[in-house]
């Protein structure tokens, strides 16, 4: 009888301690979710939700984003944590989504990073491993959930091709450098220190010869160019703050150097920096706003699920650039 009473008391104490710990976790979690709006007040002042970020609970790790304005769709590219075929998710602003799996022409699964995505006409650019792969936008839009879409090697470029942005006339391909696990070898001296990564500008009709080279900061995950000629980068790595860096394209400094026949311009005089939550990925420019997404809420990283980082969002930089 005494033994039974003792066990009962121990269980009661254990449950009380567990309840207290759970309450503490809930309080801390709630506090952090409130504090984020103060910590990243500039970011949240220009942020609005567009739709759900698809595939976050499917083992998919999102990387690239591209809006198809006339179709009212968004393409999201990325890789699978289990190393199965990489995917492109298609979603709309009502959260209707599906995915296609990517394969080479020989039928072999494409399992590359699928780091960036952009669309020009029917051509879908996918950036990965110093290459721009091509897919058909029509094929993707006319697919059903789980269908396979073929990609082809469209061009070898002169950088590691981590992200891509396209407008009506040009395609911009850039690389990621962090100085540790990911190292690129395009060193250019700036007044703020060394840059080691570049963005290469090409004509859609000729992907063999770059027209212009931009020397860019480290840890760039994506870029876009606004209608007013602002170049905006997202930078992130690990659990540190994401940074959104804004430059005026016309202010890029001519280094006097060339690379593969193209003049190299240094982006060093940023006109704005806004910090945001960790793990921002690629950017696109659509309907006057920068659109982006985070990989933090994917099953691979999880923690973003607790901070409601599961949306594709729009950032209205013009609302503060015009002030």
CB-based burial label for 18 (10 Å; 0-12, 13-18, 19+): exposed
171-187 pLDDT tens trace = 999 999 998 889 999 99
Q: Kindly state whether residue 270 falls inside one of the protein's structural domains.
A: yes
Q: 196 is written with which tokens?
A: 């080691």
Residues 171, 267: Cα–Cα separation, whole Å: 18
CA distance 246 to 235: 11
Residue 10 scores a pLDDT above 90: no
Q: Is residue 133 part of a domain?
A: yes
Distance CA 34, CA 15 (A): 28
| 27 falls within a domain | no
Q: Give me the residues paired with residue 62 across strands.
A: 78
8 — pLDDT class (breaks 50, 70, 90) = low
**Is residue 292 included in any domain, yes or no?**
yes
3 state SS of 160? coil
pLDDT beyond 80 at 118:
yes
| C-alpha distance from residue 184 to each of 130, 188, 222 (Å) | 11, 12, 16
Number of domains within the chain:
1
More confident residue, 198 or 320: 198
Structure tokens at 297: 């809420």
> Is position 8 within any domain?
no
Average pLDDT over residues 29-54: 84
Main-chain dihedrals φ then ψ at residue 134, nearest 5 degrees: -110, 145
Q: Write out the two tokens for 3.
A: 């033994």
Give the mean pLDDT of 161-176. 97
The residues with which 97 forms a beta bridge, in sequence order, are 91
Query: Is the pLDDT confidence value at 27 over 60?
Result: no
Q: What is the CATH number of the domain that holds 137?
A: 2.120.10
pLDDT of residue 32: 55
> Would 237 be classed as within a structural domain?
yes
Residue 301 tokens read as 């990283």
Band of the pLDDT at 19, cuts 50, 70, 90? low
Q: What is the pLDDT of residue 139?
A: 98
33 pLDDT band (50/70/90 cuts)? Answer: low
Q: What is the pLDDT of residue 319?
A: 85
Tell me which residue range forms the domain holding 315: 40-321
* pLDDT score at 85: 98
Stretch 275-295: mean pLDDT: 97
Res 36: pLDDT: 72
Residue 148 in any domain: the answer is yes
Tens-digit pLDDT profile for residues 56-109: 999 999 999 999 999 999 999 999 999 999 999 999 999 999 999 999 999 999
Q: Is 245 within a domain?
A: yes
pLDDT for residue 16 = 63
What is the structure's pLDDT at 279? 96
Banded pLDDT at 34 (limits 50, 70, 90): low
- Is residue 12 scored above 80 in pLDDT? no
In angstroms, rounded to a whole number, what is the distance separating the alpha carbons of residues 209 and 259? 10
């Amino acid at each position: 009888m005494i033994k039974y009473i003792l066990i009962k008391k121990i269980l009661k104490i254990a449950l009380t301690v567990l309840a207290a710990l759970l309450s503490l976790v809930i309080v801390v979690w709630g506090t952090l979710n409130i504090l984020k709006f103060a910590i990243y007040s500039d970011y949240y002042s220009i942020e609005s939700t567009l739709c759900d970020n698809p595939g976050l609970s499917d083992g998919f790790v999102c990387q690239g984003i591209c809006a198809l304005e006339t179709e009212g769709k968004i393409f999201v590219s990325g890789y699978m944590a289990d190393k199965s075929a990489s995917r492109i998710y298609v979603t709309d602003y009502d959260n209707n989504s599906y995915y296609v799996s990517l394969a080479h022409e020989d039928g072999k699964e494409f399992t590359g990073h699928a780091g960036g995505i952009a669309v020009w006409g029917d051509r879908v650019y996918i950036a990965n491993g110093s290459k721009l792969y091509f897919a058909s936008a029509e094929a993707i839009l006319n697919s059903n959930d789980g269908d396979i879409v073929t990609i082809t090697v469209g061009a070898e470029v002169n950088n590691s091709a981590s992200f891509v942005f396209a407008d009506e006339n040009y395609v911009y391909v850039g690389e990621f450098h962090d100085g540790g696990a990911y190292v690129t070898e395009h060193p250019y001296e700036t007044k703020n220190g060394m840059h080691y990564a570049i963005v290469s500008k090409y004509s859609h009709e000729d992907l063999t010869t770059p027209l212009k080279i931009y020397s860019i900061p480290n840890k760039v995950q994506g870029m876009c160019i606004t209608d007013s000629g602002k170049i905006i980068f997202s930078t992130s790595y690990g659990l540190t703050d994401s940074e959104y860096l804004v430059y005026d394209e016309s202010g890029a400094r001519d280094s006097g150097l060339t690379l593969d026949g193209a003049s190299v311009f240094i982006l060093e005089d940023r006109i704005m920096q806004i910090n945001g939550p960790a793990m921002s990925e690629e950017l696109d420019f659509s309907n006057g706003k920068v659109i982006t997404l985070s990989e933090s809420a994917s099953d691979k990283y999880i923690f973003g699920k607790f901070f409601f980082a599961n949306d594709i969002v729009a950032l209205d930089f013009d609302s503060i650039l015009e002030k």
